[in-house]
Chains A and B, each alone.
Chain A
Amino acid sequence: MSNKVLIGGIGNVLLGDDAVGPYVIRLLESEYIFPDNVEVVDLGTPALDLTHRMAGLHAVILVDCVASVDRSSGTVLLYRKDDILRVPPAQRLDPHAPALSECLMSAEMLGAGPEHVLLVGVVGESLEPGCRMTTAVETAAERAIQAILAELARLDVPYETRRSTLPPAIWWTADAVGVRES
C-alpha cells in the first residue's frame, strides 16, 4: 500500500481570490519541511490530470477557492471524499468541465481512489482578473494551513517547521518577477 501524500493547491493565480490554493502552497513550502513521501504542489487549474495525480495515493489534501451562497468570504470549509463524490458530473463540453468530483470518481472507478481525501475550501469573494486577493481570503490562508497540518497529524505524517523560513515564492503579486519560480 502506497504511503504517498499529495498536498495540492488548486486555482488560477490571475483571478483574484482563486489564487488562494497556490498561495497556501507557497506559504507551506516556505515555512515547513515535509518528508519525501509528501508532494507539495501548485496544481493551477488541473482538470483531468487530477485523476492520475491522485490515483494510487494514500492521502490527498487539496486547497481551493470554493463558492458558497450562505457563508462569508474567508470562511474555511472542510470536505471529505463523500461530500465531493456527491456532486454529479457535468456534461463534458470542454476539458475544464470535469472537475474534482469527476476526477475522484474516475480514480474510484479504477479502484485507485486515495484512501483519505480532504478538500480545504476557502470561500472566495472576487474572481475578477487581477493578481490580488481580498483581505478576508488572504487572512484565511493561515487557517487553511492549520487545517492541512491537522490532517497531516491525523494521518501520522511528520513535518517540521523551518528554522529560517524562505521567502514564499508568490511571484504573481510582484511588479517584476526577478527571481524565477523554483
Chain B
Amino acid sequence: MAKRITIDPITRIEGHLRIDVEVDNNSVSNAWASCTMWRGIEKILRGRDPRDAWMFTQRFCGVCTTVHAMASVRSVEDALNLEIPLNAQYIRNLILIAHALHDHIVHFYQLSALDWVDVLQIPKADPAAASKLAESLSPWTRNSRNELKAAQDRVKAVAASGQLGIFANGYWGHPAMRLSPEVNLLAFSHYIQALEYQRKALQVVGILGSKTPHIQNLTVGGVANAIDLDSPAALGMDKLEMISGLLAEVAQFVQQVYFVDVCAVAAMYPDWFKIGSGVRNYLAVPDLPLDSKGSGYDLPGGYIRNGELGAVKGFQTAADEVLRKSVTEDVMHAYYQGEKALHPWQGETEPAFTGWDGDQKYSWVKAPRFNNEPMQVGPLAQVLIGYAQGHALTRKYTDQAIDKIAAIGGVRPTPAMLHSTLGRHAARAIRACMLAELAQKHWQLLVNNIAKGDYTVHNQPVLPSHEVEGVGTHEAPRGTLSHWIVIKDEKIKNYQAVVPSTWNASPRDRAGAHGPYEASLLHTPLARPEEPLEVLRTVHSFDPCMACACHAFDPSGRKITVAKIL
C-alpha cells in the first residue's frame, strides 16, 4: 500500500518548494514538485521604461539578485542589438563569477552537506586522525589538529546545551549516513570556514557593483563604473589588486577544500551515482562573453537529448536562434489561466488558484519546455554539454574529479554516471573550479584592456518607436536563466522570466511528462520513509531556489498565510 509523504516547510517561515512523494515498499513510486507561492512579479514591469527593468528584476529574489539584473539588461541589449564595451563585459563577467562562486560554496556547505554529514558523530572523532587524513587529501593549510579540535568543541558545546539549535532538524543517526566520525568532523570544519570564503566572494561583487546584495553599477549598454587607475573613488589599481587577492583566496578554498570534500563524499557514497538521474535532456547557454558582440564565450552552451552525449548540439551565441524559437511554457498543471503552451514573448501570468490536486493543477511553477520536452538545467547540464563538445577546461576538471574520487574510494565513475544525485554535486564543484580559474583570466583581460588606454564602459542605448523583442540569458549558478522582453513605444509591453528552478521544479506538462525534480525522485530507495533523507539528498542536489519572492519573519512560528491571500 503506497503512502504519501509531504515535505512542505511553509508550515514555518519562508519555504516555497513543496515535495510530495508516494512510497511503496520503501521506494518512491510517484512524485510531485510544487511551488506554494505566486510568481506574478513580472506584471509589475509592464508599462515601465525598459532601462529601469533590471532594478526591479534584481528584487525578484534575495539570493540571486545579480543574475536577474544581468539577464534583464542583456534582454534589452538583445532587443536593441546593442554592443557592450569590452571593459563592461569583463566587469560583468567578474561579478557573475564571484556571485556564482559564493553561491556554489553556500549551496554545498550550508544547504546540502548536512544531508551526508552526521553532526552527532563529530564528538566521537579523533582530531589528530582527522588532520592526518585531511593532509593526505589536500594541501589546504587549515586542516591542523588544533583547527579541527576547535570545530569539534563547537559541536560539543551545542550538544551539551541540550538544544541542538541550528542542527535541530537534521536526520542524525539515520541509517543512510555513512561517513566516519573523522570525515564528518573535517566536513564540519570546512562548513565553518566556508562562511569566510563566501563573504570574500561577495566582497568582490560589492567592490565592482558598489553594493551588495543589490549591485548598482549596471546600465543598459554596459556598466556605470568609472575607470581611473589613480583615483581611489573610481575603479583603479588598488581596487583591482584587492579583487585579485580576494579571488585568489576564494579559488584556493574552492580547489583545495570544496572540490576535495565533494570528491570525498562521492567516493564514500558511490551508490548515489546510480540514484536520482531523472530527466536526461540538458540545456545550458554560453556565458562569459569574450568580445563586445558576444560571439565568443568561456562557458559553452547547447543541449543534449536522452543522455546521448555524442549527439550534443552547441549554441553559437547566448541568444541562439534555436533557443529563441524553442522555448514554451505550459500551464496545464500550474495555477494559471490559459490553454495553449505559450512562447515567453506571448507569455501570460494570470493566476487561477485551485488548491493542490496532484491530478489537476498543483503548482505556481509553469512547465517550461524546449521543443516540447522537459530539460534539466544547472551545473550538471553545463558540464555534460561542455564535456561532450570537448571543451578543454570542462574536461580538465571533470577528469580531475574522476581521478580524485577513484583515488579516495576505489570506484572510478564514468562521465555517464554523472546522470545522478552525486553527479549534480560533482558537476557543481567542477564548475566552481572552472570559474575560479576563469576569474583570474577575466581579471587579467580587464587589466590588460585598461592598460591599453581603453576606459570605455558604456554604449548609449537608443529605444526605437517600433515594437522589438529580446532575450537576455545567463548561465546562473542554478542553470539557464532567460528574461524575455517585448518593447513598444519605449515601454515594456511584456516581460517573462524563465528561471532555472522553473525548468527543474517544473510540474507535469499536458503530455504528462514529469519535471526534473519529480523524475529524479522516482525509484529512490528510502531506509526510513518517515525520515525521507534520501528525498532531500536528491532535491538538494539541484540547488533549488523557488522564492524570487517574499520573506517575512513570523516570531510565533505559525504559518504565514501568503497562499490564502490569493
Contacts and interface: CB of A to CB of B under 8 A. Distances in A.
A38 interface: no
Interface string A79-107: 10001111111111111111111100110
Interface in A158-178: 171-172, 175-177
B218 to A, nearest CB: 10
A129 B19 contact: no
A44 B62 contact: yes
Chain A's interface: helix, strand, loop or mixed, by majority?
loop
B52 interface: yes
Contacts of A87: 12-13, 554-555, 557
A93 B8 CA distance: 9
Interface in B191-210: 192, 195-196, 198-199, 202
A73 to B, nearest CB: 12
In this complex, the interface size class of chain A, counting residues with CB under 8 Å from chain B, is 35 or more
A149 interface: no
B15 A96 contact: yes
Given A45-B551, A68-B556, A69-B558, A93 B62 contact: no
B566 to A, nearest CB: 8
Contact of B165 (A18, A83, A96, A108): A108
Given A99-B551, A130-B44, A48 B106 contact: yes
B555 A66 contact: yes
Contacts of A52: 195-196, 198-199, 202
Instruction: Specify which of A18, A93, A102, A109 lies most central, judged by the most chain B CB atoms within 10 Å of its CB.
Output: A93
Given A12-B550, A45-B550, A45-B551, A90 B15 contact: yes
Nearest to B349: A129
B558 A92 contact: no
Interface in B59-80: 59-63, 65
A159 to B, nearest CB: 21
Given A12-B549, A97-B13, A88 B213 contact: no
B552 A171 contact: no
A93 B544 contact: yes
B555 A181 contact: no
B562 interface: yes
In this complex, the interface size class of chain B, counting residues with CB under 8 Å from chain A, is 35 or more
Contacts of A93: 7, 9, 15, 17, 19, 536, 539-540, 544
A105 to B, nearest CB: 4
A181 B55 contact: yes
Contact of A45 (B62, B165, B195, B546): B62
A66 B224 contact: no
B392 interface: no
A110 B167 CA distance: 13
Contacts of A64: 551-553
A95 B539 CA distance: 12
A114 interface: no
12 contacts: A11-B552, A12-B551, A15-B549, A69-B556, A87-B554, A88-B169, A90-B13, A92-B169, A93-B19, A109-B154, A110-B192, A181-B216
Interface string B101-124: 000001100110000000000000
Interface stretch (B23-31, B35-43, B267-275, B372-380): B35-43
Contacts of B202: 49, 52
Instruction: Specify which of B17, B41, B546, B549 lies most central, judged by the most chain A CB atoms within 10 Å of its CB.
Output: B549
Interface stretch (A29-37, A118-126, A138-146): A118-126
Nearest to A85: B165
B545 interface: yes
A171 B54 CA distance: 12
A10 B551 contact: yes
Contact of A94 (B12, B546, B556): B546
Interface string B528-554: 000000001001100011110111111
B214 interface: yes
Given A11-B552, A18-B552, A87-B555, A44 B154 contact: no
A127 interface: yes
A14 B53 CA distance: 12
Given A65-B552, A181-B55, A97 B43 contact: no
B48 interface: yes
B460 to A, nearest CB: 15
A49 B206 CA distance: 13
A154 interface: no
Nearest to B14: A96
Interface in B223-243: 224
Contact of A129 (B41, B62, B107): B41
B56 interface: yes
Nearest to A20: B552
A98 B43 CA distance: 28
A105 B166 contact: yes
A25 to B, nearest CB: 12
Lowest 5 CB-CB distances: which A-B pairs, in order?
A45-B62, A45-B551, A105-B166, A177-B52, A96-B547
Contacts of A89: 165-166, 168-169
A182 interface: yes
B342 to A, nearest CB: 20
A96 B16 contact: yes
B560 interface: yes
B527 interface: no
B565 A84 contact: no
Nearest to B103: A95
Contacts of A121: 553, 555
A131 interface: yes
Nearest to A119: B553
A101 B556 CA distance: 12
A67 interface: yes
Given A93-B17, A95-B107, A98-B110, A66 B7 contact: no
A68 to B, nearest CB: 7
Contacts of B106: 48-49, 95
Contacts of B214: 42, 44, 181
A48 B556 CA distance: 21
Given A14-B41, A89-B165, 5 more contacts: A15-B41, A52-B202, A91-B15, A124-B552, A180-B224
